[in-house]
């Protein structure tokens, strides 16, 4: 039997005097760190469950702080929370306490947290991998069990796509890329042409670059390239409706014939009532290839759903700025792929901005300032 996540769940009702007191004091600080209601409810249920197991004392407060810190870390895009008491954990605890106006003996709290995570068999919510508990300790980091499972599954699927054999020879791809570059309404630079080649070469590609580097121009050329390769039903998608509309407009300006872009949720057939998707491994997407814009906004769960629904032989191209518009939940997949050595052959980085002359000191300063705003 699972614990209810409703704010008046049975666990919370039973142990409300202990659990709710902790969250009344710390919840204000957690909200100020951009933790939403769902994260707060989940954190409180976990602590209430553990209070029922162990009883009151300093343990619930430390566990509450630890779980809130993990939820905040996930909200900021990380799938895990390093447990090093000198690292981000200390900073997060200090921030939550300060913003909540609560005085904490942080060294004592950190010692209690260390005891909790070093001997997870003594509590009911934290365990080692495979223990089937809500929180997982692995490699001195804390995960939610679901985030760890999703990370494993997405990593395996990405590895399969990277390792997939090429359908076309490199010289054929280069010839197609050169041809579609010549058809562009604006000339493509050498690095943009290289990005098109990478996107046409395998089952997964990442095109990343800052503002004005021509990512959408490259996307239009990739659509042309897939069509030239005989791939039908090339599909455009983005995380938000605004981004999808913008992608459709810019692609149309390049005189590329393709269906309008959709949001990823619409493409996958999102079912709001059950929070599931109509398309999945048993009901795959009817597409030949998918190009996703603003991919930095996609979290781990949505990437997993997309990879689950995408036919194995359908190429996936993720386009975005790894330094801009971070995911709104756990998992910064675009940024992780961009910085991964194994993924390097499938990553194309566009560095030259055509909105500002980055070779000019003033232009470079404007460009760097624009990037810094989003970092």
CA distance 32 to 96: 8
Strand runs labelled E in the chain: 81-82, 126-128, 135-138, 141-144, 204-209, 234-238, 262-263, 270-271, 276-277, 289-293, 316-320, 347-350
Q: Which residue has the tokens 């030239």?
A: 228
Residue 285 has pLDDT above 80, yes or no: yes
More reliable by pLDDT, 78 or 228 = 228
Q: Can you name the residues that pair with 126 across neighbouring β-strands?
A: 135
pLDDT of residue 202: 94
Q: Give per-residue pLDDT as tens, 228-241.
A: 999 999 999 998 89
Length of the chain: 375
Beta strand 316-320 with 204-209: parallel, antiparallel or unpaired?
parallel
- d(CA 10, CA 25) in angstroms, rounded, equals 21
Question: What are residue 254's phi and psi, to 5 degrees?
Answer: -85, 5
For residue 1, is pLDDT > 50?
no
State yes or no: pLDDT of 331 exceeds 90: no
What angle is formed at CA 152 by the lines to CA 151 and CA 158, rounded to 5 degrees? 85
d(CA 325, CA 215): 15
pTM of the predicted model, to two decimals?
0.79
- The arithmetic mean of pLDDT across residues 296-307, rounded, is 91
In Å, the largest CA–CA distance within the chain is 71
- Mean pLDDT across 33-38: 55
Residue 225 near residue 234, CB atoms below 8 Å: no
Cα distance between residue 116 and residue 121, in whole Å: 9
Q: What ranges do the domains of the chain cover?
A: 10-148, 164-374
Strands (E), 244-313: 262-263, 270-271, 276-277, 289-293
pLDDT digits (tens, 9 = 90+) for 159-201: 999 999 888 888 999 999 999 988 888 889 999 999 999 999 9
pLDDT at residue 187 in the model = 86
Percent of the chain having pLDDT more than 70? 74
> What gap in Å lies between CA 4 and CA 54, rounded to an integer?
19
Whether residue 333 contacts residue 300, with contact meaning beta carbons closer than 8 Å, is answered with yes
Percent of the chain topping pLDDT 90: 32
Which residues pair with residue 348 across a beta bridge?
207
pLDDT at position 220:
93
**Predicted local distance difference test score (pLDDT) of residue 140:** 87
In the structure, what pLDDT confidence band is assigned to residue 332 with cuts at 50, 70 and 90? Answer: confident
Q: Would you tell me which CATH number, out of the four given (1.10.3720.10, 3.40.50.300, 3.40.309.10, 1.10.101.10), belongs to the domain 164-374?
A: 3.40.50.300
Q: Indicate if the pLDDT at residue 101 is higher than 60.
A: yes
């Amino acid at each position: 039997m699972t614990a209810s996540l409703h704010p008046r769940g049975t666990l919370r009702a039973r142990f409300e005097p202990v659990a709710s007191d902790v969250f009344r004091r710390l919840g204000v600080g957690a909200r100020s760190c951009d933790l939403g209601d769902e994260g707060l409810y989940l954190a409180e249920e976990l602590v209430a469950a553990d209070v029922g197991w162990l009883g009151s004392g300093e343990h619930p407060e430390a566990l509450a702080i630890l779980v809130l810190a993990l939820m905040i870390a996930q909200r900021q895009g990380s799938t895990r929370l390093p447990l090093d008491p000198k690292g981000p954990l200390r900073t997060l605890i200090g921030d939550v306490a300060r913003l909540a106006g609560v005085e904490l003996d942080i060294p004592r709290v950190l010692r209690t947290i260390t005891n909790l995570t070093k001997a997870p068999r003594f509590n009911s919510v934290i365990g080692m991998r495979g223990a089937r508990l809500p929180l997982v300790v692995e490699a001195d980091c804390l995960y939610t069990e679901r985030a760890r499972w999703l990370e494993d599954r997405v990593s395996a699927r990405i590895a399969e796509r990277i390792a997939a054999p090429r359908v076309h020879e490199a010289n054929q791809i280069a010839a197609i890329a050169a041809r579609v570059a010549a058809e562009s309404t604006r000339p493509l630079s050498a690095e943009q042409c290289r990005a098109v080649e990478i996107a046409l070469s395998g089952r997964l590609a990442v095109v990343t670059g800052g503002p004005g580097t021509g990512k959408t121009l490259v996307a239009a050329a990739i659509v042309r390239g897939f069509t030239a390769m005989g791939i039908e039903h090339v599909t455009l998608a983005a995380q938000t409706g605004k981004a999808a509309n913008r992608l459709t407009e810019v692609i149309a300006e390049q005189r590329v014939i393709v269906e309008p872009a959709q949001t990823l949720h619409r493409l996958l057939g999102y079912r709001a009532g059950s929070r599931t998707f109509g398309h999945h491994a048993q009901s795959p997407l009817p597409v030949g290839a998918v190009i996703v814009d603003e991919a930095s906004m996609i979290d781990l769960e949505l990437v997993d759903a997309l990879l689950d629904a995408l036919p194995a032989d359908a190429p996936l191209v993720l386009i975005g700025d790894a330094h801009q518009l971070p995911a709104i939940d756990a998992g910064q997949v675009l940024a992780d792929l961009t910085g991964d050595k194994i993924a390097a052959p499938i990553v194309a980085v566009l560095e030259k901005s055509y909105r500002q002359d980055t070779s000019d000191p003033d232009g470079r300063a404007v460009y760097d300032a624009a990037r810094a705003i989003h970092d």
